[in-house]
Amino acid sequence: MNTGWSIFIIVVTIANILGCWWLLHWSSKHKADIADSDTTGHRWDGDLQELNKPLPRWWLILFNITIVFGLVYLVLYPGLGNFEGVYKWTQDKRYQSELQAAEAQREQVFAQFAEMDFDALVREPAALQTGQRIFANHCAMCHGSDARGAPGFPNLRDQDWLYGSDADALHTSIADGRQGVMPPFGSVLGEQGIWETVAYVQSLSGQNASPGLVEKGKAHYQALCIACHGPEGRGNQILGAPNLTDDIWLHGGSPDSIAAAISEGRTNRMPPHKELIGEQRVPLVAAYVASLSAADADHGQDEH
């Protein structure tokens, strides 16, 4: 705000406060120049009259207190143009102060987990509860509140991991994010070649496919796909290339979904969360995610 506008705001504000004080005291006095009756002479609807009486003293005192309060407030806090006030208070300073206080309280909570290794965190109920809350606030919008994912967003409760499930892999995924790219091969294979490759990929996961198409698709796979997905189609966790031999599909396992992936490619991005949630919270989320996969694995074994 420039100096001119600042002076204008100060003058208008002070003038309004003083004007209110003058009007208050002027209107509180008995109008002696009006007839010696107790009315102002105004009449409405036949019998409604405006009385000529001063305002109650208690009401005047309260109003004067509010004026004094307003003046003191404008001296102590910002409100007069560029004048910062004696305390130099700002919303940003107040926010930062409360944020620091809240952060200090949170650090006390996380300090108890700082010295625990990954395996200990996975077995610690308090750590998992904290990790669950962080997950709900920052991860559930993509992976779901139950962490079972959605098309394009991995299910975190199964045992299928694009980049691995050890402590380092999970920490890197959460802290630094991931960038997965499947290049498009539509222009290379052509429509017929795409469907031949689809048939071979289906056969890798045990789906029914035409043997003739499978054999031709295998040649396309070995020429274009083997470098990432491996000779047996089991993927490569270093590259984030998915395992094509199981029945778990990030974007769907129908022929149309597979064809779209081969023809148009896929681009997936897991954003980094280190700056968002803080370095101390990353291991807690990693431990919580690992516990979900372990719990579902144990549940599956019990069912069998």
Predicted pLDDT of residue 162: 94
CA angle at residue 29 from 54 to 68, to 5 degrees? 90
* Residue 17 or 105, more confident: 17
- Judge whether 185 and 192 are in contact, CB under 8 Å: no
Predicted pLDDT of residue 180: 92
Predicted pLDDT of residue 45: 83
Helices 3-27 and 57-76, packing angle to 10 deg:
170
Above 90 in pLDDT, residue 126? yes
Average pLDDT over residues 224-251: 94
What stretches of 250-303 show up as alpha helix (H) in DSSP?
A: 255-264, 274-277, 282-303
- Residue 303 binned pLDDT confidence (cut-offs 50, 70, 90): very low
Return the amino acid letter for 9. Answer: I
Return the amino acid letter for 66. Answer: T
- Residue 1 binned pLDDT confidence (cut-offs 50, 70, 90): confident
Do the two domains 107-177+271-303 and 180-270 of this chain adopt the same fold?
A: yes
| End-to-end CA gap in the chain | 72
What stretches of 40-184 show up as alpha helix (H) in DSSP?
A: 57-76, 91-111, 118-123, 125-138, 140-143, 167-176
Above 60 in pLDDT, residue 227? yes
DSSP conformation class of 170:
H
CATH code of the region 107-177+271-303:
1.10.760.10
Structural tokens at position 137? 């606030």
- Residue 98 binned pLDDT confidence (cut-offs 50, 70, 90): very high
Predicted pLDDT of residue 299: 52
Nearest Cα to Cα of residue 180 among 219, 153, 146:
153
CA distance 215 to 230: 17
45-95 per-position pLDDT tens digit: 878 887 777 778 888 899 999 999 999 999 999 988 888 889 888 888 999
Predicted pLDDT of residue 32: 52
Assign domain 180-270 to its CATH architecture: Orthogonal Bundle (1.10)
- Residue 267 binned pLDDT confidence (cut-offs 50, 70, 90): very high
Predicted pLDDT of residue 304: 39
28-42 per-position pLDDT tens digit: 765 555 445 577 777
131-173 per-position pLDDT tens digit: 999 999 999 999 999 999 999 999 999 989 999 999 999 999 9
Phi/psi of residue 31, nearest 5 degrees? -80, 100
Above 50 in pLDDT, residue 248? yes
Classify 45 in phi/psi space as left (phi over 0), alpha (psi -120 to 50) or beta.
left
Above 80 in pLDDT, residue 302? no
Domain ranges of the chain: 3-76, 107-177+271-303, 180-270
Average pLDDT over residues 269-278: 94
154-to-37, 65, 72, 86 alpha-carbon distances in Å: 87, 64, 59, 55
Predicted pLDDT of residue 265: 96
Predicted pLDDT of residue 281: 92
- 150 has which bridge partners? 153
| pLDDT, mean over the chain | 89
